[in-house]
Amino acid sequence: MKRINRRNVIGMLGIAPFAGGVVARASTAESKPEGSSSREMIRDRYFPNVVLTTHEGKKVRFYDDLLKDKIVMINLMYADCEGVCPGITANLVKVQKSLGKRIGEDIFMYSITLKPEQDTPKALNEYARRHGAKPGWFFLTGDAKDIEMLRRKLGFTNPDKKLDADKSQHIGMVRYGNERLTRWAACPGMANASWIVESVLFMDWPKSPETKSDSVTRPGEKGAQK
C-alpha cells in the first residue's frame, strides 16, 4: 500500500466533491440556492437523516444525532468479514486509544454494518466487546435500503460494478470530518494509526469555540431522535 502521511492527507483537502473523491468542501457562491449555506447543502445532499440502531440498542438519526456539530470517523464493516474488516477494526482501536478522552466527548467513531440483515445490535455489541471498543465508538445497523443509501452518499463505492456488489470486496476507507466546519476527507483504514489521529485532529483547526464538549449531544443521550 502506498505510504500515507499527514501531508498526503491534508493535501487532499478541497480537491473533489464528497461522493466522487475524498473531500466535501463549501460550494461556490454561484452554485448555492438563495438562502442555503454550504453546510446545509452538504447535509441535504450527502447526509440522509435515516434512523439507525446502535450496538447498545438505541435508535438514532444519522445527521441529527450522529453527525451534527461533531468531529467523526466513519467506516463500513460487517461482523463475519474475513477480509479487511478485522485489520481496520484493530487499527481503529489504536486510533481510539491515542485520542483518549476526546472520543465520546467531541470526537465520535461510527462503524456501519454492510450486512444489517444478520448484524443485529446484539451481534454488533459482541463484536464491539470482542475487539475492545470503548464508549464513543458506535457500531450501527438499520434498514438495508437505508444502509445502501448511506454507503453511496458517503462515497464508499467502487467504479467496478461487479466488485461494488461484492461485500467481501468493500472499500476499506475511513471517512472523517468536522460537520460544523464542513471539512471532510478520507484515508485508507489501514493507514498508520498515528497519521489518522493527526489528520482527524487537523479537522478541528482552527479550533471552533462551539466544538467544546459541553455543547455536544452524545448519541443515545436525552434529546436524541427516537
Write down the CATH number for the domain with range 6-13+36-203.
3.40.30.10
What is the residue extent of each domain of the chain? 6-13+36-203
Which alpha helices (DSSP H) does 5-111 contain, by range? 6-11, 38-46, 85-99
Which residue shows C-alpha cell 440502531? Answer: 53
Contact assessment for residue 87 and residue 131, using Cβ atoms and an 8 Å cutoff: no
The pLDDT tens digits of the residues spanning 178-189 come to: 999 999 999 999
Judge whether 113 and 140 are in contact, CB under 8 Å: yes
Q: Among 140, 160, 159, which Cα is nearest to 150's?
A: 140
Instruction: Look at residue 16 in the predicted model and tell me its pLDDT.
Output: 35
- The reported pLDDT for the residue numbered 25 is 41
- pTM over 0.85? The answer is no
pLDDT of 55: 98
Cell numbers standing for residue 182: 464542513
Cα 149 from Cα 145, distance rounded (Å): 6
What pLDDT is attached to residue 206?
Answer: 67
Residue 171 and residue 156 in contact, taking contact as beta carbons nearer than 8 Å = yes
Q: What is the pLDDT of residue 26?
A: 35
* Positions in the chain whose pLDDT score sits under 70: 1-36, 206-216, 222-226
Residue 210: exposed, middle, or buried by beta-carbon count in 10 A (0-12, 13-18, 19+)? exposed
Half-sphere exposure of 28 (CA within 13 A, CB side): 2
Residue 92 CA to residue 130 CA, distance in Å, equals: 14
